[in-house]
Amino acid sequence: MIIEALRAELYKLSRNRWSTFWAFGFMPLFALGMGVVEQIVVHAYLGDIIPFASPLHDSLGGLATFSASIFQLCGIAGAAIIFGGEYRWETWRAALTRVDRAPIMAAKMLTFAIAISASLALCGVARLIVGFIDVALTGSATWPPVDAGGIVLAHLIGFAASFLQVMVTAAFVMLVCVVSRAMTAGIVATLLALVACEIASIRGNFGDDPIWLLFPNISGEAVRQAASITMGGRDGLLAHFAPLGAAALVLWFILLFAVALALFTRQDLSKE
């Protein structure tokens, strides 16, 4: 049943091309475009202030494109479309005639996971391209002091950090959409919550207390710092908390998704 629901959700997403582009396709293009602009500024106006390029570190940084709250806006909008669209168009009664409530919500979450995974990977590729442009303009490059396995592992860890962080965001969007029955509320409330987390946890970046891992942005940063160390980067203040950070993100996702699903299964949808 969940496979059929997943196919239906992927089909709907593919047909809603314009919204899908802005939700999942814009950020890779933005990462590429901003990277090209950076190279023009650095090489044409600032005179090559950095004497070498580092494309693999650029690609690792590209996987963190969605880490900041403002850059998660596109993903938030995509999640709101997926989880709040049935409320917006009052199509729940038609959708639930063939699929039970739990499978259809699981399918929606899987659809978001597939789409955001592609977007994150393309962000990494975009910054890798920018890194090679930097190599061509600089004339020299530096490479990580690890083997190919270490490079791949670092990128997998960096991908996992951003993926888990964005999935927590998606679960929160799902919860807000279910409670409010509105796409707009899912976008606005989630963005405000992310900004509030960043403001409240500012000094957590300089501390050594695991309590800060309760903030998803700090947990994600801890895992990203571990990815940087894996590829030969310098130690970060939060890197040793990476396993706890990953566990915190997983627990946040399970908790938010479970609460949203519990409320949804008991929700009166006779008018939607």
**Length of the chain, in residues:** 272
- Candidate from 57-61, 79-83, 138-142, 189-193 with smallest mean pLDDT: 138-142
pLDDT at 168 over 60: yes
> In this structure, are residues 186 and 23 in contact, taking their beta carbons and an 8 Å threshold?
no
What pLDDT was estimated at residue 166? 98
Q: Which DSSP string do the residues of the chain spell out, in sequence order?
A: -HHHHHHHHHHHHHH-HHHHIIIIIHHHHHHHHHHHHHHHIIIIIS--SS-SB-HHHHHHHHTTTT-STGGGHHHHHHHHHHHHHHHHHT-HHHHTTTS-HHHHHHHHHHHHHHHHHHHHHHHHHHHHHHHHHHHHHHS-B---SS-HHHHHHHHHHHHHHHHHHHHHHHHHHHHHHHHH--HHHHHHHHHHHHHHHHHHTGGGGG---GGGGGSHHHHHHHHHHHHHHHTT----SSGGGHHHHHHHHHHHHHHHHHHHHHHHHT---TT-
Spatial separation of the C-alpha atoms in residues 158 and 137, rounded to whole Å:
27
pLDDT band at 30; cut points 50, 70, 90: very high
Give the max Cα distance, the chain.
65
pLDDT at 3 over 70: yes
What letter represents residue 53's amino acid? A
- Candidate from 116-125, 146-155, 196-205 with smallest mean pLDDT: 196-205
What pLDDT was estimated at residue 37? 93
pLDDT, tens only, 177-233: 999 999 999 999 999 999 999 988 876 555 567 888 999 999 999 999 999 999 998
Percent share of the chain, pLDDT over 90: 74
What letter represents residue 187's amino acid? I
What are the CA-CA distances from residue 41 to residues 134, 136, 141, 165, 181 (Å)? Answer: 11, 15, 19, 31, 45
Spatial separation of the C-alpha atoms in residues 194 and 182, rounded to whole Å:
19
- Other Cβ atoms less than 10 A from the Cβ of 200: the count is 12
What pLDDT was estimated at residue 139? 83
Here the tokens at position 103 are: 């499978």
What pLDDT was estimated at residue 207? 56
What pLDDT was estimated at residue 82? 97
Spatial separation of the C-alpha atoms in residues 115 and 78, rounded to whole Å:
9
